Structure 1
Amino acid sequence: MTNERRVLVHPDKAALAGSVAARFITKIIDVLEEQGSAHVALTGGTMGGAVLRAIGDSPAHQSVDWSKITFWFSDERYLPHGDAERNDSQAKAALLDALELAPGQVKSLPAPGEHADIEAAADAYAAELAAAAPEGAEYPRFDVLFLGVGPDGHIASLFPDRAGVHVTDRTVIAETNSPKPPPERLSFTLPVINSADRIWMVLAGADKAGALGLALADASISDVPAAGAQGRKRTVFFVDQDAAAEVPAELITSEQFWTAAHSIDEH
């Protein structure tokens, strides 16, 4: 099993979303043929939603047996269910609702009022992960885990200069002092993120260039949490030209543009 980081650069946000969508559809079909089922972790943010919309817009998405996929969320704003700012609300509007999935296929993180407090909510989602895990494991095998990267280098709700990025003895943590509103959030820890076979980070815009450059330069995870993300098989940064401004040329994959007919081996 090999692990390597790749940077795939696209001319603009629309091309970026379409390329990631095409790659995901083809890869998840392969995974389902091989395994019979799959676990996918979704993220929020502008590009996270754009990718999901592009998946739904692609006629090829009809070739996927969506009933075999369980969707999780790597982090969530601790807001009431249905709030437009929640990652799961955005994902449902962008794609999931249109797929007519069974309720158990979408594993939303808890909302206020469901548990005694946010710490108990984190424990409850950790229990859901454990219930779906193979025997002896604490979480399922994630075939694809999507992440956004903030201008400050944060991933999920693991922020710079916060203790959460260093937690290794829990699978889900409560962040109660997020530098971005809202202050209360729930998040996978880095060991869970890095258990994924494939981590796909999707980022666009000149404001992400510095964070991307530092992540690829293996900056401290205390300063740039994205630097600590590394999938078991592949770690791919899907970026637009603006976000790639500070990426050394030797780190950019020569096969820049990917379609279903132009595959990069991932096995």
Structure 2
Amino acid sequence: MASSHLYFVAPFRTLRSSPSLPKSPRFPLHVSRSSHLLTHKTLAFSTVIRGASGSGRSSWRAMAEKGKGKVVVFDSEEDLSVSLAKYTADLADKFSKEKGSFTVVLSGGSLIKSLRKLVETPYVDAVDWSTWHVFWVDERVVPKDHDDSNYKLAFAGFLSKVPIHPGKVYAINDALPAEGAADDYETCLKHLVKSNVISVSAATGVPKFDLMLLGMGPDGHVASLFPGHPLVKEKEKWVTFIKDSPKPPPERITFTFPVINSSANIALVVCGAGKAGPVNAASGNGQNSDPLPVQMVSPEGELVWFLDKDAASKL
């Protein structure tokens, strides 16, 4: 395998070993041979280090750390998707062995596209899909066959291609209005907590999902938690609703930050130059007086940013 380049972006600190990033990953990593260095001007305070390759070595092409967060910068979205698949498969393997189940939360947008390598060799045949329980961090209150449905997007690009039991895929009740759909989804979560399908945070008492896969909007929103909206301050509910989303469709349900931040692992997957500003703000370099929603993502466990070079261009 050709060697790759690792970009350690200031002001982040160098990653050390972490229990969620196995030293001897179960699944092999295949990295594209194409590599385009970021310019010295873009990464004026960066250190460029030649990466290592070979069996049993780290799967990451770039890593850095800021507090609990680690940043991984890829030359392309294709390279990002390769590493994201491996990261997800390794966590699924870890939790499945530890507790017999794997609870994963999906978002909409381009996230499903970035998961496409999971439905290919070696993962589609090697992953123990029987242990998976699938949830959504937010959903548009539309029928499941509507083009705006996150469920439809996930089904077409991912769920229909892997043997996850349909009874372990927890979509919203789209026959209910937004408020009712949010209450119903929270009731579902409470039932699964009581039956020990979903773990509980010892610190907060709210659901603790094994992995939450988040995207981010160009305005810095995550889930359906938008800049300046009162819902970003919601602390009591696990699932709430919005009827005035600044991004259509207006009616949605969404996990709140207490649930998001109780996660054991969060992957923030961000691609494109149009999102470079919020990424820069989240790194601590922004000038916003009020934090963007993405800046409020701070899980109890591990946070890993998966960025393509365009999303990282302002770091």
With the length of structure 1 as denominator, give the TM-score of the two structures.
Answer: 0.85
Which aligned pairs between 1:32-43 and structure 2 lie closer than 5 A?
32-43=96-107
Please state whether the residue corresponding to 1:80 is helix, strand or coil: coil
String of CA shifts for 1:223-257, please: whole Å, max 9, x gaps: 4100111122211110000000122xxxxxxxxxx
Please state whether the residue corresponding to 2:246 is helix, strand or coil: coil
User: Residue 211 of structure 1 aligns with which residue?
Assistant: 278
CA contact (8 A) 1:149 1:226 kept: yes
1:67 pairs with 2:135: no
Q: 1:73 deviation in Å? A: 0.2
CA contact (8 A) 1:76 1:87 kept: yes
Return the match for 1:161 from 217, 225, 228: 228
Return the match for 2:80 from 16, 27, 41: 16
String of CA shifts for 1:98-124, please: whole Å, max 9, x gaps: 22322221001231xx23x31111100
Determine the C-alpha separation between the residues in 1 that align with 2:102 and 2:93.
Answer: 10
Q: 1:24 deviation in Å? A: 1.0
1:89 pairs with 2:152: yes
Determine the C-alpha separation between the residues in 2 that align with 1:152 and 1:121.
Answer: 26
1:130 pairs with 2:190: yes
Distance 1:221 1:59, change over 3 A: farther
Which aligned pairs between 1:45-124 and structure 2 lie closer than 5 A?
45-46=109-110, 48-111=111-174, 114-115=175-176, 117-124=177-184
User: Residue 309 of structure 2 aligns with which residue?
Assistant: 241
After TM superposition, the structure 1 stretch with the greater mean CA deviation from structure 2, 85-94 or 149-158, is 85-94
CA contact (8 A) 2:84 2:115 kept: no
String of CA shifts for 1:12-71, please: whole Å, max 9, x gaps: 11111111111111221122112211110011111x112221211232332111111100
Q: 1:173 deviation in Å? A: 1.0
User: Residue 239 of structure 2 aligns with which residue?
Assistant: 172
After TM superposition, the structure 1 stretch with the greater mean CA deviation from structure 2, 36-45 or 219-228, is 219-228
Q: 1:140 deviation in Å? A: 3.8
User: Residue 62 of structure 2 aligns with which residue?
Assistant: none
**Structure with the largest fraction of helix:** 1
Distance 1:221 1:201, change over 3 A: farther
- Counterpart residue identity of residue 224, structure 1: L
String of CA shifts for 1:73-110, please: whole Å, max 9, x gaps: 00011111111221111111111112232222100123
CA contact (8 A) 1:132 1:139 kept: no
Task: Count residues with an aligned counterpart.
Answer: 243
- Larger RCO: 1 or 2 (CA < 8 Å, sep 6+): 1
Q: What is the Cα-based RMSD across aligned positions, in Å? A: 2.1
Determine the C-alpha separation between the residues in 2 that align with 1:204 and 1:174.
Answer: 27
CA contact (8 A) 1:221 1:228 kept: no
CA contact (8 A) 2:234 2:257 kept: yes
- Counterpart residue identity of residue 101, structure 2: S
Determine the C-alpha separation between the residues in 2 that align with 1:109 and 1:146.
Answer: 18
After TM superposition, the structure 1 stretch with the greater mean CA deviation from structure 2, 218-227 or 178-187, is 218-227
Determine the C-alpha separation between the residues in 1 that align with 2:246 and 2:154.
Answer: 23
Q: 1:206 deviation in Å? A: 0.5
Give the greater-gyration-radius structure (CA).
Answer: 2
Return the match for 1:193 from 260, 270, 273: 260
Identity of aligned residues (%): 34
CA contact (8 A) 2:132 2:164 kept: no
Q: 1:139 deviation in Å? A: 5.0
- Counterpart residue identity of residue 86, structure 1: S
After TM superposition, the structure 1 stretch with the greater mean CA deviation from structure 2, 87-96 or 196-205, is 87-96
Q: 1:192 deviation in Å? A: 0.5
